[in-house]
Copies of this chain bind each other. A is one copy, B any other.
Amino acid sequence: MNLDLERYKISHPASFKIADFDPDERSVEKSQKSNIKDLMKSLNDELEILQEKLYAESKHKILIILQGMDASGKDGTVRHVFEGVNPQGVDVVSFKSPSKLELAHDYLWRIHHNVPAVGQIVIFNRSHYEDVLIARVKQLVPESVWQNRFDHINNFEKMLVDEGVTILKFFLHISKEEQKIRLMERLDDEEKHWKFNPDDIKERSRWNDYMAAYQDMIQKTSTAWAPWTIIPANRKWIRNYIVAHHIVKFLKDLKIQLPMIDFPPETYQFE
């Protein structure tokens, strides 16, 4: 495989440009699809085992953050990457527009409440990053407010990491053209109508503003303790594979140990 999987992790955020990343990832040819789907199957199996160990060890806390434009495939990524994994110990939290109670508190209030406990994997479908994306593009708060948030977020994530959380942040990168295709599918297919939201059209018209906000966000919040990974997401099988690869790699690096038992199993006799 001619795919350098490490290059998607942003290690030099200052020079990060979205335009340097191809949402199609043309370096992967269509003929590799079945090969990649096989690799994906092994990753699914590995993830299933790693998650069980993580749960048994009850030491590490895993936070996975998915960000991306409408129709970039956040739901689909969760479904395909975590296929077969025991839902006990894996929670998905989808952050929609904040409620009145949430708005009455600081923007990290609802976020912090949902971070993982030991042994848990929590997946954020959207996150506190909306507070420097939609809040910025739609001017929901003044610039003087959202500009402070990059520091807040970096400090918040640093605290989590210091206290035992592993944070993986994925930006699902699709092209404007690909979004159009997917939104049109939602309109054409009656079974997908529920996924369509007329507001998506309005958000789409701000595409360039969003890309600028994403680029700035990744430059400012890709830290040593919680780097961003950019996922070419126009083709779903490539997207799923790269996300799964990074999650499995991170979990392997934790060197999870099953807890030691303090009894010799043979001392127990059953009638």
Query: Are B115 and A106 closer than 8 Å at their CB atoms?
Result: yes
* Complex interface bits, A235-253 against B, C-beta within 8 A gives 1, otherwise 0: 0000000000000000000
Number of A residues whose C-beta is below 8 Å from B?
A: 28
Name A68-88 residues within 8 Å CB distance of B.
Answer: none
Contacts of A151 in B (CB 8 A): 155
Nearest CB to that of A147 among chain B residues?
A: B162
A207 at the interface (CB under 8 A from B): no
CA distance A151 to B162 in the complex (A): 11
Query: Are B118 and A159 closer than 8 Å at their CB atoms?
Result: no
Query: Are A108 and B104 closer than 8 Å at their CB atoms?
Result: no
Known: A106-B163, A155-B158, A156-B159. 14 other contacts (CB 8 A): A61-B105, A101-B117, A106-B164, A108-B112, A108-B159, A109-B112, A109-B113, A109-B115, A112-B113, A113-B113, A145-B162, A145-B163, A152-B159, A156-B156
